[in-house]
């Protein structure tokens, strides 16, 4: 297969991974029966607006509601209001939307249904600070967490204990109504307590856990924020709380399902797929070194699978920011992978965030092949130097090797494919 064909195959696998997680495909089969009373649709996340549209198109009775999504991810709905807000650092629009959502589910009866549409990004979008805290407090902690190298579940542990709506508090407010949460997973292990910081499920973490993470990553807290975390009143809703006995969770799209869809594309092309894991975590550059080592093992020894094959993986890596460049975890991974492979013949790769945004840039990710380093050198770029600056977007933008999808309106975390021809 020629280089153009390999590049096309990599992109086809990414497209298949995204397509299987699209709300119009994933939502309809999982809708509950309409209730005797009212149907209130609420939601938060990068996919929540597209999920709301899918609900409207397939719901047999009256409904009303409000969902909040990231700027640029809205789609038109007739009965469900769509609000846009900031991600990954929350803003006033998200705070206002979260307050309205919380108020909307209060005072319901046993005959009512709350349909919660939850997807990745919901934690930042449901930005309702706990009493005594302001939005600026949450913004400051969020920025520090994003730069710290903390994993998504660690970040969300801290967020839950600074919130008035996360950590099961939204479901508790909806009691005694029935609550059904349809979730698109963007977290390792598909833990509903981590997706969007778990507004509809009990939280097993504690304020002591949150304080330990603050110390672990050296995050500076304003005195009143620290006092809040030290106060027992900030505890989230715990397992066994009777207010959550009528709350249900349905996982409608997952990283594993997306990897399996990509694997089918590979098989159809005569390439053996090897799914290494749907929940791989760690520093992006460290994960890249491991992937490079596996690719070398395939080429040298035909293990763990013979050529041609593709190594597929998902999950959410992290980047500890030390430079002043423009980057994201997927381009960081690819930069480190290119450095580790050092032009090894026959290896190409793609990595992208399935929501279409890698980091703060409107770029999903990038791709590399065995000519990437030579091409970069011809343009005066040094991959190791770009990696040291966390400057992946500039590197791949200059090479013309970015993957740009626009907002996909879903999110099952990162997709990585390393193809060994």
Q: Is the pLDDT of residue 360 over 80?
A: no
With tokens 């970015």, the residue in question is 402
Q: How far apart are CA 113 and CA 31, in angstroms?
A: 12
Give phi and psi for 213, each to the nearest 5. -70, -35
Residue 310 reports pLDDT greater than 80: yes
Going from the C-alpha of 118 to that of each of 59, 67, 253, the distances in angstroms are 18, 9, 11
The CA distance from 292 to 342, in Å, is: 10
Once rounded to an integer, what is the mean pLDDT over residues 102-121?
A: 97
User: How does residue 156 score in pLDDT terms, banded at 50, 70 and 90?
Assistant: confident
- Residue 146's pLDDT is 86
Q: Is the pLDDT of residue 160 over 70?
A: yes
Query: What integer pLDDT is reported at residue 362 of this predicted model?
Result: 86
* pLDDT 10s digits, 57-84: 999 999 999 999 999 999 999 999 999 9
* pLDDT higher at 147 or 393: 393
Count Cβ atoms below 10 Å from residue 206 Cβ, excluding itself: 17
**Cα-only R_g, the chain:** 22
pLDDT in tens, 231-286: 999 999 999 999 999 999 999 999 999 999 999 999 999 999 999 999 999 999 99
Assess contact for 414 and 334: CB atoms under 8 A: no
Is residue 192 very low, low, confident or very high in pLDDT (cuts 50, 70, 90)? very high
Average pLDDT, the chain: 95
Residue 1 pLDDT grade (very low, low, confident, very high; cuts 50, 70, 90): low
Please name the residue that has the structure tokens 């097993």. 204
Do the Cβ atoms of 42 and 101 come closer than 8 Å? yes
| 318: nearest Cα among 336, 301, 299 | 336
Buried residues in 87-106 as b, exposed as e (16+ CB within 10 A): bbebbebbbbbbbebbebbe
Q: Are 409 and 75 in contact (CB under 8 A)?
A: yes
Ordered structural domains, the chain, with CATH: 3-18+256-420 (3.40.1480.10), 24-253 (3.40.50.10180)
Res. 417: pLDDT tops 80: yes
For 402, counting Cβ atoms within 10 Å of its Cβ (0-12 exposed, 13-18 middle, 19+ buried), the class is buried
List the structure tokens of 15: 């497209």
| Ramachandran bin of 322, using left for φ above 0, alpha for ψ from -120 to 50, beta for the remaining angles | alpha
Q: Say what the pLDDT of residue 147 is.
A: 87
Nearest CA-CA partner of 314 in 271, 364, 260: 260
Tens of pLDDT, residues 118-142:
998 898 999 999 999 999 998 999 8
- Phi first, then psi, for residue 33 (nearest 5°) are -70, 145
Chain segment 197-241, per-residue pLDDT in tens: 999 999 999 999 999 999 999 999 999 999 999 999 999 999 999
Q: Which residue has the tokens 């492979």?
A: 341
């Amino acid at each position: 297969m020629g280089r153009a064909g390999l590049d096309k195959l990599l992109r086809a696998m990414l497209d298949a991974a995204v397509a299987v997680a699209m709300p119009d495909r994933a939502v309809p089969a999982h809708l509950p029966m309409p209730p005797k009373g009212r149907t209130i649709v609420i939601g938060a996340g990068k996919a929540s607006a597209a999920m709301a549209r899918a609900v409207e198109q397939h719901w047999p009775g009256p409904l009303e509601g409000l969902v909040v999504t990231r700027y640029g991810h809205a789609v038109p709905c007739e009965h469900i209001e769509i609000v846009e807000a900031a991600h990954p650092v929350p803003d006033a629009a998200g705070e206002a939307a979260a307050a309205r959502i919380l108020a909307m589910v209060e005072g319901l009866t046993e005959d009512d249904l709350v349909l919660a549409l939850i997807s990745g990004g919901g934690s930042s979008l449901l930005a309702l600070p706990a009493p005594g805290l302001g939005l600026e407090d949450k913004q400051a902690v969020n920025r520090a967490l994003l730069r710290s190298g903390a994993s998504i579940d660690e970040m969300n542990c801290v967020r839950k204990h600074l919130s008035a709506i996360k950590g099961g508090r939204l479901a508790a407010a909806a009691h005694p109504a029935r609550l059904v949460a349809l979730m698109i997973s963007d977290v390792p292990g598909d833990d509903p307590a981590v997706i969007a910081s778990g507004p509809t499920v009990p939280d097993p973490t504690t304020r002591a856990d949150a304080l330990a993470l603050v110390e672990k990553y050296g995050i500076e807290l304003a005195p009143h924020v620290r006092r809040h975390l030290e106060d027992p009143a900030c505890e989230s809703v715990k397992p066994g709380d009777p207010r959550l006995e009528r709350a249900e969770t349905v996982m409608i799209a997952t990283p594993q399902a997306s990897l399996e869809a990509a694997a089918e594309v590979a098989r159809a092309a005569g390439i053996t797929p090897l799914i290494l894991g749907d929940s791989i975590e760690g520093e992006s550059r460290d994960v890249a070194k491991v992937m490079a080592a596996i690719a070398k093992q395939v080429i040298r020894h035909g293990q763990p699978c013979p050529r041609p094959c593709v190594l597929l993986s998902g999950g959410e890596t992290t980047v500890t920011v030390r430079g002043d460049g423009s980057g994201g975890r997927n381009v960081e991974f690819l930069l480190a992978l290119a450095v580790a492979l050092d032009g090894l013949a026959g290896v190409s790769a793609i990595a992208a965030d399935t929501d279409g945004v890698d980091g703060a840039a409107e770029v999903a990710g990038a791709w590399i092949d065995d000519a990437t380093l030579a091409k970069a050198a011809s343009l005066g770029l040094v991959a190791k130097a770009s990696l040291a600056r966390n400057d992946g977007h500039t590197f791949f933008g200059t090479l013309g090797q970015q993957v740009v999808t626009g907002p996909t309106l879903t999110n099952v975390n990162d997709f990585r494919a390393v193809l060994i021809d």
